[in-house]
Amino acid sequence: MNDLNKKLILSFLIVFFLGTVALFTLREATESKIRNLNVVSNVPSFELANFNGDIFTDNNLTNKITILSFVFTSCPDACPIMSQNFSILQERFKDSDLIQFVSITVDPEYDSNDILEAFSEKYSNDSNWYFLRGDINYISTLSEKGFFLSASLLPAGHSTRFVLIDKQKNIRKYYEGTDDAAIMELQNDIVFLVNEKI
Amino acid sequence: MKLRLFYNSAVIATILSYLLIFIGGLVRVSGAGMGCPSWPKCGEGWIPPTNVDINQINTTLAWIEFTNRMFGVILGISIIILNVIAIFYFRKNHTLLFYSILSLIFVVINGLLGGALVWFELNPYIKTAHMLFALVLVSILSYICIKSYKMLNPNIFQGLKNNLILSKSLIFLWILIVIEILLGTGLRTGIELIVIDNPLFSKSDQLDALPYYKYLHSILGFGLLFFSIYINYNLRNHPLLLARQLAYFITGMIVLQIFLGEMMIFFDLPQLTRLFHTWGSSWLVGVIIILYNCIKNE
């Protein structure tokens, strides 16, 4: 075998080896993304009311991909950013009727239906974003026991995390609602859930 | 003996830098760029966590990105060794010393650009700069390799006639290849930006949404093919076998790149094809530098 042939065979083997390693790595990366979206828990039963008076229960989550958060309208720091991020996601997924957004107020005493409606008009551009209210103790328990999100010293002590819920009412993952990188991750995960075959 | 040591060290640094471009490409296509959410540390510690925690970082992606960083460090060490040899033994050979130091500067800058990529959450312009600096680095290292190889084997290169047109053609080809790679990186960035605003777009929607410059990449690709055939034709009777082989390699690699590029559009094999499309084109950059210096009589 001459020198050139040896070099060609060696090059082919190296490329083949690198290709195999790359293929394995890419498969692992894809699977790790799926693993990261494993079911955390089921959504608990709940019943709250939208600002227009409509009752909204956990059954409204069936066959929808839902992004849920706890906010209050007079919150100075995190909530405007969180709501702005909801707004951005709502715009980006406007062509899909599978996706909906839920914001639950942790200050129902101040956040009357009128105030929630005004808040909705400020941030929401579509009808797939629900602003819910109910009894403060009920919401506090729902946050802590139902969604595993801290709710001490409400309203200021609410969690700033977003909850991603799949079409079968499973909690799949949490995201820091004020962090741009986390929002990008959430966006990619929503696409994954849209394409997920059950 | 000293020269052979220097040459071997340059070859190792060059191979490592190509390997690093491959791993860097793997980070990009696997979406592991933010696998380590901080830099230079990976999350809380210097090494990514091994336990799986649902709310913490994705450990698989963290390890992919961490491997990239480790290889960067290994490449850095190999270039430091190259510099030590150059400073000790080749202080009077200004070319070898100058380009060794230049390679060290470029590897440090590119390491910092890798850090900036994490700080600025994969900003597309920093991504392009990171790629461009990697291409310049492999060009410098390839130049050091061929330069020291020629010093090591002066007989092979004796009596060569300079061909000014051919040399200029090769410089022109190198510039065009770099532009072509940057156009390709630009296309990928364009697609990524479209996907951010339109996450549910299909692949054909994404391609449709790209502006007119998507055709430039393909057109220039075919232009490069004809240009490399022209260079091959002019080198057909060159006395140096190595020069003829390198010219064949360049044309062959351009054909392969066009094939891989079209595959990405017409078939659904995106990740691995993308990886080899990027990596293969980075080889062209270094090989042209080697060919240019191969046929040059000094």
Q: Are residues B146 and B182 in the same domain?
A: no
Q: Are residues B215 and B69 in the same domain?
A: no
Q: Give residue-wise pLDDT tens across range B161-186.
A: 888 999 999 999 999 999 999 999 88
Q: Are residues A95 and A134 in the same domain?
A: yes
Q: Quick check: A25 contacting B, CB < 8 Å?
A: yes
Domain final residue pick, B134, B153, B172: B153
Average pLDDT over residues B243-259: 95
Q: Are residues B149 and B243 in the same domain?
A: no
With an 8 Å Cβ cutoff, are B275 and A22 in contact? yes
Q: Are residues A31 and A82 in the same domain?
A: no
Which strands sit side by side in the sheet containing A47-50, from one edge to the other?
A41-42, A170-176, A161-165, A65-71, A99-105, A129-133, A47-50, A55-57
Q: What is the DSSP string of chain A?
A: --HHHHHHHHHHHHHHHHHHHHHHHHHHHHHHHHHTT---EEPPP-EEEETTS-EEEGGGGTTSEEEEEEE-TT--SHHHHHHHHHHHHHHHTTT-SSEEEEEEES-TTT--HHHHHHHHHHH--SSSEEEEE--HHHHHHIIIIIS---B-STTTTB--EEEEE-TTSEEEEEEETT-HHHHHHHHHHHHHHHH---
Interface test with B, best of A5, A18, A32, A35 (most B CBs within 10 A): A32
CB–CB of A108/A141 below 8 Å? no
- Closest residue, chain B, to A28 (C-alpha): B60
Average pLDDT over residues A150-159: 80
Q: Are residues A26 and A50 in the same domain?
A: no
With an 8 Å Cβ cutoff, are A19 and B26 in contact? no
Q: Quick check: A22 contacting B, CB < 8 Å?
A: yes
Of A28, A40, A93, the CB nearest to B54: A40
Q: Domain containing A27: what range?
A: 1-35
**B123 pLDDT higher than 70:** yes
Of A23, A92, A188, the CB nearest to B198: A92
* DSSP-assigned beta bridge partners for residue A101: A67, A129
Q: Are residues A107 and A14 in the same domain?
A: no
With an 8 Å Cβ cutoff, are A36 and B64 in contact? no
**A166 pLDDT higher than 50:** yes
Q: Give residue-wise pLDDT tens across range B259-282.
A: 999 888 887 667 899 999 999 999
**Widest Cα–Cα separation across chain A:** 86
With an 8 Å Cβ cutoff, are B32 and A188 in contact? no
Chain A partners within 8 Å of B276 (Cβ)? 15, 19
**Distance (Å, rounded) from C-alpha B158 to C-alpha A176?**
66
Q: Are residues B64 and B109 in the same domain?
A: yes
Of A29, A38, A95, the CB nearest to B61: A29
Average pLDDT over residues A105-129: 90
Q: Are residues A76 and A55 in the same domain?
A: yes
Q: Are residues A54 and A3 in the same domain?
A: no
Q: Are residues A60 and A143 in the same domain?
A: yes
Q: Are residues B148 and B8 in the same domain?
A: yes
**B53 pLDDT higher than 60:** no
- CATH number, domain of A146, equals 3.40.30.10
Domain final residue pick, B153, B185, B216: B153
Q: Give residue-wise pLDDT tens across range B125-135.
A: 899 999 999 99
Q: How many domains does chain B have?
A: 2
Q: Are residues A23 and A50 in the same domain?
A: no
Q: Are residues A70 and A5 in the same domain?
A: no
Average pLDDT over residues A146-174: 88
What ipTM did this prediction achieve?
A: 0.86
**B56 pLDDT higher than 80:** no
Query: What b/e readout covers A135-145, taking b as 16+ CB neighbours within 10 angstroms?
Result: ebeebbebbee
**A197 pLDDT higher than 80:** no
Chain B partners within 8 Å of A41 (Cβ)? none
Q: Are residues B60 and B202 in the same domain?
A: no
With an 8 Å Cβ cutoff, are B34 and A23 in contact? no
Q: Are residues B147 and B1 in the same domain?
A: yes
Q: Domain containing B168: what range?
A: 157-298
pLDDT at position A66: 95
pLDDT at position A198: 64
Q: Are residues B112 and B22 in the same domain?
A: yes
Domain final residue pick, B119, B153, B187: B153
CB–CB of A124/A114 below 8 Å? no
Of A26, A35, A92, the CB nearest to B197: A92
Q: Are residues A81 and A115 in the same domain?
A: yes
Instruction: Provide the shortest C-alpha distance from residue B272 to chain A (in Å).
Output: 7
Q: Are residues B172 and B254 in the same domain?
A: yes
The chain-wide mean pLDDT, for chain A, equals 89
Q: Give residue-wise pLDDT tens across range B202-230.
A: 888 888 888 888 899 999 999 999 999 99
Q: Are residues B148 and B189 in the same domain?
A: no
Q: Are residues A15 and A65 in the same domain?
A: no
Q: How many domains does chain A have?
A: 2
Q: Are residues B77 and B163 in the same domain?
A: no
Q: Give residue-wise pLDDT tens across range A11-67.
A: 899 999 999 999 999 999 988 888 888 888 899 999 998 988 899 999 999 999 999
Q: Are residues A29 and A74 in the same domain?
A: no
Pairwise pLDDT comparison (B159 vs B242), residue with the higher score? B242
Q: Are residues B149 and B209 in the same domain?
A: no
**B295 pLDDT higher than 70:** yes
Q: Give residue-wise pLDDT tens across range B80-118.
A: 999 999 999 988 888 999 999 999 999 999 999 999 999
